[in-house]
Amino acid sequence: MEQTLKVKIQPLNAEAFKPYGQVLQPKQLIYPESEEGRVAMEMLTVKYRSSAKKMDQFAIHFSYNQTFIPVQGSLVLVVAPPPSNRDAGPARYDLDYEKVAAFLVDPGQAAFIFKGTWHNALTLGSNCTFINVTRKNPGEGTSQVEVLAEGRVDRVPASRPYVEFVDVKKRDNRLIELEL
How confident is the model at residue 180, as a pLDDT? 86
What span, in angstroms and rounded, lies between the C-alpha atoms of 68 and 33?
Answer: 14
Q: Is the dihedral of CA 127, 28, 134, 164 positive or negative?
A: negative
Residue 112 lies in a domain: yes
Residue 131 lies in a domain: yes
How confident is the model at residue 143, as a pLDDT? 64
Residue 134 lies in a domain: yes
Our measurement of the distance from residue 44's CA atom to the centroid of its chain's CA atoms, rounded to an integer in Å, reads 13
The tens place of each residue's pLDDT in the chain, 180 residues long, gives 789 999 999 999 999 999 999 999 999 999 999 999 899 999 999 998 888 899 999 999 999 999 999 999 999 999 999 999 999 988 999 999 999 999 999 999 999 999 999 999 999 888 999 999 999 887 776 665 554 444 555 444 445 778 899 999 999 999 999 998
How confident is the model at residue 150, as a pLDDT? 47
Instruction: Provide the residue range defining the domain that includes 17.
Output: 3-22+37-56+69-179
What span, in angstroms and rounded, lies between the C-alpha atoms of 28 and 156?
Answer: 32
What does the chain look like in DSSP terms, one character per residue? --EEEEEEEEE--HHHHTTTEEE--TT------BSSSEEEEEEEEEPP-TTTTEE-EEEE-SSB-EEEEEEES-EEEEEEPPPS-GGG-TTT----GGG-EEEEE-TT--EEEPTT-EEEEE-SSS-EEEEEEEEE-TT-------B-GGG-B----S--TT-EEEEHHHHHSEEEEEE-
Q: How many CB atoms lie within 10 A of CB 121?
A: 25
Cβ atoms of 21 and 50 within 8 Å: the answer is no
Residue 29 lies in a domain: no
In the chain, the number of structural domains is 1
What span, in angstroms and rounded, lies between the C-alpha atoms of 23 and 5?
Answer: 25
How confident is the model at residue 108, as a pLDDT? 94
**Which residues are paired to 119 by β-bridges?**
59, 79
